[in-house]
Amino acid sequence: MRFLFSLLLILPVACVVAQKQSSIMVMEIKSEIDPRTNRYVELALDHAKKTDADIVIIEMDTYGGVLTDAKEIVDKIMQYKKPVWVFINSDAASAGALISIACDSIYMAPAASIGAATVVTGTGEKAPDKYQSYMRAIMRATAEEKGRDPRIAEAMVDEDIVIDSITQAGQILTFSTSEALKHGFCEAKVESIEEILQRNNIENYTLTRFELKTTEKIIAFFLNPFISGLLILIIIGGIYFELQTPGVGFPLFAALTALILYLVPYYLNGLADNWEIIALFIGLVLIAVEVFVIPGFGIAGIAGISLTVMSLILIMINNDAFNFDFVPANELLYAVAATFGGILGGVVLLFVGGSRIHKTRFFNRVALTYTQEREKGYTVSAAAESVKGKTGIAHTVLRPGGKVMIDGQLYDAFTRGEYIEKGEAIVVLDDETTSLRVKKA
C-alpha cells in the first residue's frame, strides 16, 4: 500500500515533466551578410537567452557577404550554449556556407545548395590569396569543431583542392542537398521547420519567430541612403538658417536632431567607426574656424569641407579604413550620391529658402517681422549721423559679415550674401541697425 501511495504521488510530477514544452526560436538570414545582419544575429541570440529558448533555428537563404561580419556571426553561434540548427531553404553560398557549417545541425530543402565560399571583392573579382588563405583556415577550423570533414570545407574555398569522387581541380565545391547529405554536411532533406522538429521527435513545443523591435526598425529606416541624404540636407540648411536668424533656435535644433539621426543608426550597426565620426566633427570645426575666425578662404576651409564630405561618405559604407576591396560598388555609389545629393539640396535650399523663409507663417511666429522705423522713435543705428549712401572700403573680408571703414570710422557691416574682399570699395545701403548693410560700390 505504501508503494502504491508513493507511486500515486510521483505520477502527476512525471506527467508535468513529460508535458513540458520545448521553446523553439526561429531567426532569418535572407539578405547579404553585412554589419546589419551581424547586429540582427546578436539581437536574436540575446533574445533567445532572455526567453530561455531550447533550440535556435536559422532559416537561411543568402549568397554571402562580408567575411569579417560572417566570422563574427560564427563566433556568436559557437559561443551560444544551446543547440543552433540551420534550415537552408534555398542557398547558403560563401559566407552563408561558413555560418551554416558553424551550426550544430544542417537541414536542407530539396534543390538547396551549400558551398562556393571563395572570397570576392566588391566588384565580384576573386580576392588576393591572403584572404583566401584566411577563409580556408576559418572553414577548416569550423568544420573540425562541428565534426565535419575539414578537407571538404576547404574545397568550398580553394579550387585547387582535389578530393576523390567529390571535386576535381579547377572547381569550387558546391553541394546539392543529396550531396551534402551523402558527405556529412546535412542531417536530412526536409520541406519545413516543422518537419525538422518532427524528425527530432519534438512534438510538444512553442515556435516563435524573432522580429526586430520598433526602435530597431526605425534605426534600419534611417540607414536608407535616400534618408541619409535628406538628413545631410537638414543639417546644412539648419546651420545656415540659424546663422541667418540667430536666437530663433529651431534651425539649430533641427540640424542637431538630423545629425544624431544620421550618426546613431550607422554607429549601432557597425558601419560608422569612431575615427570617421571624429573626422566629421573636426571637419565641421575647421569650417566654423574658417567662417568666424580666419579671414579669407584657405587651408582650414578646404580641409574642413574635404574632411566633412569624406567622413559623411565613409560613415555609410562598410570599409576597412581606406581599404574598399570588399565594399560593393553599388553601395559606394549610393553613399556618394546621398552625400553630394544632400549637400546640393542644402545649397539649393539656401538660395531658394533663404529668400522665402521670412514670408512663412512659422517664421512670423518666432521672429520679429514688423519694422521699427526711426520716425516712430526706434533707433539702434551704428552711426550717430546717417551714413546711408556713403562710400568706404572693406576693412576685413565680408562673407557676409565683417567691418568697413567710412570717413576714418570703423563700423560693423554685412552684405545680403555677397562676398567682398578686404580693401574693396563699398556703399552703404542701410544704417538703421547695429550693423550697416552694404554692397560693392
Would you identify the CATH topology of the domain 374-440?
OB fold (Dihydrolipoamide Acetyltransferase, E2P) (2.40.50)
Question: Which amino acid makes up residue 271?
Answer: L
Determine whether 3 is exposed, middle or buried from the number of CB atoms within 10 Å of its CB (0-12, 13-18, 19+). Answer: exposed
Half-sphere exposure (Cβ direction) of 101: Cα atoms closer than 13 Å = 37
Residue pair 413/401 in contact (Cβ under 8 Å)? The answer is: yes
Nine-digit cell string for 128: 588576393
> How high is the mean pLDDT in each 10-residue block of the chain (441 residues)?
47 47 93 88 94 95 89 94 95 94 96 89 77 90 94 91 84 92 94 94 92 83 82 81 66 86 85 88 84 70 86 85 74 83 75 58 55 55 72 88 88 85 90 83 82
Cβ partners under 8 Å of residue 52, min gap 6:
23
| Cis status of the peptide bond prior to 400, with omega within 30 of 0 | yes
Q: Grid cell 522538429 — which residue?
A: 197
Read off the C-alpha cell for 238: 539648419
Q: What is the pLDDT of residue 247?
A: 59
Contact residues for 361 (Cβ-Cβ < 8 A; gap 6+):
none
How many residues can be counted in the chain?
441
Beta bridge partners of 438: 428
Residue 337 · residue 224 · CB < 8 Å: no
Structural domain boundaries in the chain: 18-211, 215-271+316-366, 374-440
User: How far apart are alpha carbons 143 and 237 in whole angstroms?
Assistant: 54
Provide CATH code, domain 18-211: 3.90.226.10
pLDDT at 13: 43
- pTM, two decimal places: 0.67
